Amino acid sequence: MWSKQSILRDIISFLINRSQQFQQQLEKPYVLFASELMHSLCWMKLNYSKNLINKARITSEKIAMKTTTNHYDVIIIGTGASGGTLAHRLALTGKKILVLERGDFLPREKDNWSAKEVYQKERYHTDEDWYDKDGKAFRPQTGYWVGGNTKLYGAALLRLRERDFEQVIHKGGISPEWELKYEDFEPYYTQAEKLYDVHGERGKDPTEPPCSESYPYPAVSHEPDMQALADCIHKLGYYPFHLPLGLKLNESDRTKSPCIRCDTFDGYPCLVGAKADADVNAIRPTREAYSNLTLITNAKVLQLHTSASGREVTAVETDVNGELYQFSADIVVVACGAINSAALLLRSANDKHPNGLANSSDRVGRNFMKHQAIALLSIHLEPNRANFQKTIAVNDFYWGEPDFPYPMGMVQNSGNVLPDMIPAEAPPLLAPYVKLIPGFELHLMAERSVGWWLQTEDLPHPNNRVRVVGDKLHLDYTLNNTEAADRLVHRWTSVLKSIERNAMHVIPFSLYPRNNIPLQAVGHQCGTCCFGSDPKTSVLDLNCRTHDVDNLYVVDGSFFPSNSGVNPTLTIMANALRVGDAIAERLMVVLHSKENPGF
């Protein structure tokens, strides 16, 4: 006897087996019917193996791609902090959404947590070459995965300070005002903190802006050695606080905690899916819950084509696993990260947009910022036994100090320093030791280290920019505001020395090797398509829609007019939610206008 399930299973198997034929030979309506049928079957709670359902789903997506009716309500390009978050928000609208991602799902493998693979061999970074301002090739530390760079990020999720939205005078120049203010972002910060499982404690960070709700989860606790360090810093008159982190950690019942507080947090993918990244927290749950969202991986968008007037994007030219496809949508959102988004617009130049798409202001790619970041090690006599060290943050110097009334930036722990990380990250000062000492001594040095990450705002400058020359991506960048960064390093080193003098367990001679993070580290990229109300001085309007092209949005860190001194990603996520609301509102208007052509 044939059960209903076995009949359906046979239909799915038949459709999978004949998919090649469907793509090449059959009439379009039949292909569409097959595609829709398979899609629906995928979502029915039938007793099939996941493998079969996945195969059916992939096949249905392939069939849909091959048809010429690849029209969607919204196309989102990129699945990182911005694209993933936006997809999560827009799926709620029920509209037909296509997400194009040039990478694949990051494989779960033991190497996720191998310092050698991740730091020395850069297993999860692209092997592309980009070019610096002197034309010298470098390999950017950026990853193309579902979830984008959040797969590797340190998940320190902080709000900008209220004053960061105002014009601020720095020692090295001016950080410009944003036309939207902290109050405009506040509700979205709260939503983003919930979406990305942020753990923190309000009221301890001396520069914290007003917040309408407490953090969704309690702060990640300091392990005893880190607590001792925080206590020493506090005794010196400073206000260390728990770094707000996005992860799935249950410290009150560790048996229920996906996160195991391991020593490979910052810069590594999470093998157990416990880091709150855009793949795990946004893309996967959205795909599972909403059948109106289609994700195509290994889909690199090459160019955006416009109508003859140049006022709307009509085709998204995409290389999917080596084959070219054209997709279209009422609304197209670019979320490739600030560098690649600018590059995509520049590569999409046409007769109506000779300097790059949406570039009448000549601002696309300019004002690139990435933070001045410095990694500092304090090496102690006794081992640092903390397994998860990235818990302390200090903002006492954020706005400067009495004899230096200019912003200096933020201090936070980096992730653990592991022996296999040292050769890759070895600062010049440490390099001779690294070369000479045998592995076990490296090991001793690593386990006695505390890693610090110091970051200072860099200021927008039109000559710091993304350029596309032929098929090459150039990143022209000259550091600025460096006095403030130097000041922060010296100040923090003197704080660490004071701790040494007061504590028993540190080495008698000071060794504080520092490493100025090079251009390759583009994790905090932003500012290449800044937003504003004046089309002459900005690329995007205040809803991140391009001034020049009606249906084109850019939603990643490109929109930042200035960079602030805190990590950028919570602001990128909050903004994606904000822009998502604006797009949802617009979609309703567009639908309405289709029904009433006079609108």
Ligand X SMILES: Cc1cc2nc3c(=O)[nH]c(=O)nc-3n(C[C@H](O)[C@H](O)[C@H](O)COP(=O)(O)OP(=O)(O)OC[C@H]3O[C@@H](n4cnc5c(N)ncnc54)[C@H](O)[C@@H]3O)c2cc1C
- 87 lines the binding site for ligand X (CB under 6 A): no
Structure tokens, 187: 């509700």
The Cα–Cα gap between 292 and 385 comes to: 48
Residue 264 interacting with ligand SF4 (CB under 6 A): yes
Query: What phi and psi, each to the nearest 5 degrees, are found at residue 325?
Result: -135, 155
Interface with ligand X (CB under 6 A), residue from 38, 64, 74, 100 = 100
Closest to ligand X by CB, 13 or 298: 298
How far does CA 390 lie from the centroid of its chain?
A: 19
Should residue 469 be labelled a site residue for ligand SF4 when binding is judged by CB under 6 A? no
Q: Which residue has the tokens 């550091």?
A: 479
β-pair partners for 323: 320
Q: Does 262 bind ligand SF4 (CB under 6 A)?
A: yes
By CB under 6 A, the residues from 154 to 193 that bind ligand X are: 154-157
CA quadruple 191, 192, 197, 202: dihedral sign: negative
Q: Give the shortest CB-5-to-ligand X separation in angstroms.
A: 37
Residue range at the interface with ligand SF4 (CB under 6 A); choices 91-99, 142-150, 264-272, 329-337: 264-272
Residue 388 partner contact from ligand SF4, ligand X, none using kind-dependent CB cut-offs of 5 to 8 Å: ligand SF4
Which is closer to ligand SF4, CB of 155 or CB of 320?
Answer: 155
Q: Name which of 176 and 258 has its Cβ closer to ligand SF4.
A: 258
The residue (of 264 and 563) whose beta carbon lies closer to ligand SF4 is 264
Judged by beta carbon distances under 5 to 8 A according to partner kind, the member of ligand X, ligand SF4, none in contact with residue 161 is none
Instruction: Between 154 and 209, name the residue whose CB sits nearer to ligand X.
Output: 154
Distance in angstroms (rounded) separating the CA atoms of residues 422 and 430: 9
Judged by CB under 6 A, the residue of 411, 572, 574, 577 near ligand X is 572
We find the least distance from the C-beta atom of residue 378 to ligand X, in angstroms, to be 20
Alpha-carbon distance values, 80 to 102, 108, 370, 500, 561 (Å): 11, 18, 17, 41, 20
In this chain, which stretch among 3-11, 21-29, 268-276, 281-289 interacts with ligand SF4, using CB under 6 A? 268-276
Residue 552, strand partner residues: 332
480 binds, among ligand X, ligand SF4, none (CB under 5 to 8 A by kind): none
Long-range contacts of 103-107 (CB under 8 A, 24+ apart): 103/143, 103/144, 103/145, 103/146, 103/148, 103/297, 103/298, 104/145, 104/146, 104/297, 104/298, 105/145, 105/146, 105/279, 105/297, 106/143, 106/145, 106/146, 106/147, 106/151, 106/269, 106/279
Asked if 141 touches ligand SF4 (CB under 6 A), the answer is no
End-to-end distance of the chain based on CA atoms, in angstroms?
A: 58
- Cβ 315 to ligand SF4, closest distance in Å? 40
Q: Which stretch binds ligand X (CB under 6 A): 59-67, 141-149, 471-479, 587-595?
A: 141-149
Distances (CA, A) of 599 to 11, 332, 585, 590, 591: 45, 22, 15, 9, 10
Q: What part of residues 228-247 is at the interface with ligand SF4 (CB under 6 A)?
A: 247
d(CA 560, CA 563): 6
The three-state secondary structure class of 244 is: coil
Alpha-carbon distance of 358 to 352, in angstroms, equals 9
Q: Which is nearer to ligand SF4, 348 or 449 (CB)?
A: 449
Given 172, 200, 240, 267, the residue binding ligand X (CB under 6 A) = 267
Which segment (66-74, 224-232, 265-273, 517-525) binds ligand SF4 by CB under 6 A?
265-273
Percentage helix, strand, coil for the chain under 3-state DSSP, each rounded to 5: 35, 20, 45
Would you state the structure tokens that stand for residue 419, as one six-digit string?
């022996």
Name the minimum Å distance from CB 542 to ligand X.
18
What number of helices (H) and strands (E) belong to the chain?
16, 21
Q: Which is nearer to ligand SF4, 221 or 291 (CB)?
A: 221
Report how far residue 246's alpha carbon sits from residue 463's, in angstroms, rounded to the nearest whole number.
34
Enumerate residues 6+ apart whose C-beta is below 8 A from 295.
79, 99, 101, 146, 283, 287
Extract the tokens encoding 594: 């289709």
Q: Per-residue contact track with ligand SF4, 269 to 298, x per CB under 6 A?
A: -x-x-xx-----------------------
The CA distance from 449 to 443, in Å, is 10
Provide the minimum distance between the beta carbon of 415 and ligand X in the complex, in angstroms, as a whole number. Answer: 9
**Least gap, CB of 195 to ligand SF4 (angstroms):** 16
Lay out the site mask for ligand SF4 across 370-389 (x = CB under 6 A, - = otherwise).
------------------x-
Residue 259 near ligand SF4 by CB under 6 A: yes
Instruction: Tell whether residue 198 is a contact of ligand SF4 (CB under 6 A).
Output: no
Do β-strands 293-296 and 97-100 pair in parallel, antiparallel, or remain unpaired?
parallel
Considering only residues 474-493, where is the footprint of ligand SF4 by CB under 6 A?
none
328: contact with ligand X by CB under 6 A: no
Q: Tell me the residue nearest to ligand X as measured from the CB.
A: 80
Contact of 282 with 151, CB cutoff 8 Å: no
Residue 460 interacts, among ligand SF4, ligand X, none and using kind-specific CB cut-offs from 5 to 8 Å, with none
Retrieve residue 261's tokens. Answer: 């507080």
Among residues 76, 90, 148, 330, the one that binds ligand X under rule CB under 6 A: 148
Minimum CB–partner distance for residue 486 and ligand SF4 (Å) = 32
Choices 146-154, 260-268, 452-460, 484-492; region in contact with ligand SF4 by CB under 6 A: 260-268
Interacting positions 275-314 with ligand X (CB under 6 A): 300-301
Residue 175's contacts (CB-CB under 8 Å, 6 or more residues apart) are 164, 167, 168, 169, 407, 457, 459, 460, 562, 563, 564
Residue entry with tokens 């996967």: 284
Using the rule CB under 6 A, which residue among 137, 169, 174, 260 binds ligand SF4?
A: 260
Contact status, residue 534 vs residue 540, Cβ threshold 8 Å: no
Positions touching ligand SF4 (CB under 6 A) are 247, 259-262, 264-265, 268, 270, 272, 274-275, 388
**Residues in contact with ligand X by the rule CB under 6 A:** 77-83, 100-103, 141, 144-145, 148-150, 152-157, 267, 300-301, 335-337, 340, 344, 523-524, 556-557, 567-569, 572
